[in-house]
Every structure is written in C-alpha cells, then in structure tokens.
C-alpha cells in the first residue's frame, strides 16, 4: 500500500505541464497571472485549455475580451512567477511591479512577455464552469519560441518550470529518448 495523499493535494500527483504566465487585456487594462493548470486538447484545430479561478482579475479580462496568451517562463523568472501568482492585478500593474516587458502579439490584442521563452496566442472558443474555476478552451492563432531553444520540441538547453505546490518548482533540464 502506498502512503495516502489527502484529496485536496491529489492533483499534485499529476505532474502538471509547464507553468505559464497568462496575459490578458480588455479596454486598456492588462494583466499577468501565473497558471499551472493548463493542458493541450486538440492538434487540429490547435486547442489548449486553462482553468482560471472565477475570483481572479484575469478571469474577468478573459471573459470580457475572449482572448488570452500563454507565455512560457524560464527559471530566471521565478521571482516574477511567484509574485504574479500571489498578488492580484485588479488594482496594480504587475508588468510595472515585476519589470516584465509587454510586447505586441501577432494575432491577439493581449500583450506577450518579452522575457519568456515561448508564447501561444489564443482566442476563446468554449468555456465551462468547473467548480470554482472556469475552464477556458482557447484556439491557438499564433505561436512562437526563442530561436535555438525549440525545433519541433523543446531542446535540452531550454529550461522550463513545473509547479510542485507552494513555492516549489522542478526545472526541466535532462532530455531522454524512449
């Protein structure tokens, strides 16, 4: 028998995909939020899903604009990742607070984060209420990654981060072939 894990921590057994910084904007307001609960959903069309708590400012912006972007940070951005996951952008500008640089996206009216390693620009095509979160399904309209770090997958030297819980993260770095 394995050690029993309390159900409110059970999700932590599913090693989530990489942590992303979600950017959103609506009518002159912009925001950055840290998010671990993301998943690819379809290749054709290219769909991804994110679970965003209904109470978050980011939720309000995505629901109003129908757009979001996923920015993939490296470990050099861990302080900003932690900060953007602890404070709300409702009454402050997290770009200014963290020093992250907003840059124009190709297809959506949401800023991308220059310091991140890659980006997906998405338009919301479905949303579902899942408990205290909304699961937004986004169709990727454009995607980009740092030259040299991504061929048809992340290269070994691309360090991306995975949330373990609390303020703990794994940093990827070893590539194996199966």
Ligand X SMILES: Cc1cc2nc3c(=O)[nH]c(=O)nc-3n(C[C@H](O)[C@H](O)[C@H](O)COP(=O)(O)O)c2cc1C
127 makes contact with ligand X (CB under 6 A): no
User: Checking DSSP bridges between strand 102-103 and strand 133-145, what pairing results, if any?
Assistant: unpaired
Phi, psi (5° rounding) for residue 176? -125, 160
Beta strand ranges found along the chain (DSSP E): 20-26, 29-35, 38-42, 47-53, 67-72, 102-103, 112-113, 118-130, 133-145, 161-165, 168-171
Q: Which stretch binds ligand X (CB under 6 A): 3-11, 47-55, 106-114, 119-127?
A: 47-55
Residue 88 within binding range of ligand X, rule CB under 6 A: yes
* Burial class of residue 131, CB neighbours in 10 A (0-12, 13-18, 19+): exposed
For residues 109 and 156, which CB has a smaller minimum distance to ligand X in the complex? 109
Q: How far is it between the farthest Cα atoms of the chain?
A: 54
Phi, psi of 59 (to 5 degrees): -60, -45
The residue within the footprint of ligand X, chosen from 52, 70, 108, 110 (CB under 6 A), is 52
**Contact with ligand X (CB under 6 A) among 46, 66, 75, 85:** 85
Mark the segment that binds ligand X (CB under 6 A) among 3-11, 50-58, 117-125, 152-160.
Answer: 50-58
For residue 57, state whether it binds ligand X (rule: CB under 6 A): yes
Exactly one of 23, 31, 65, 98 binds ligand X (CB under 6 A); that residue is 31
- 89 forms part of the interface with ligand X (CB under 6 A): yes
Does residue 174 bind ligand X (CB under 6 A)? no
Q: Which residues bind ligand X (CB under 6 A)?
A: 19, 31, 33-37, 51-53, 56-58, 82, 85-90, 133, 163
């Amino acid at each position: 028998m394995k050690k029993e894990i309390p159900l409110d921590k059970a999700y932590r057994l599913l090693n989530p995909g990489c942590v992303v910084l979600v950017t959103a904007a609506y009518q002159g307001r912009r925001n950055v939020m840290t998010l671990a609960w993301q998943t690819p959903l379809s290749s054709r069309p290219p769909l991804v899903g994110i679970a965003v708590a209904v109470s978050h400012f980011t939720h309000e912006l995505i629901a109003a604009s129908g757009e979001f972007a996923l920015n993939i940070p490296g470990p050099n951005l861990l302080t900003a990742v932690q900060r953007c996951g602890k404070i709300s952008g409702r009454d402050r500008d997290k770009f200014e607070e963290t020093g992250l640089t907003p840059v124009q996206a190709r297809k959506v009216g949401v800023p991308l984060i220059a310091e991140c390693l890659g980006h997906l620009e998405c338009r919301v095509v479905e949303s579902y209420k899942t408990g205290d979160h909304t699961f937004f399904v986004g169709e990727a309209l454009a995607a980009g990654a740092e030259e040299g770090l991504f061929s048809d997958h992340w290269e070994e030297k691309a360090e991306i981060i995975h949330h373990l819980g609390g303020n703990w993260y794994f940093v990827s770095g070893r590539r194996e072939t199966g």
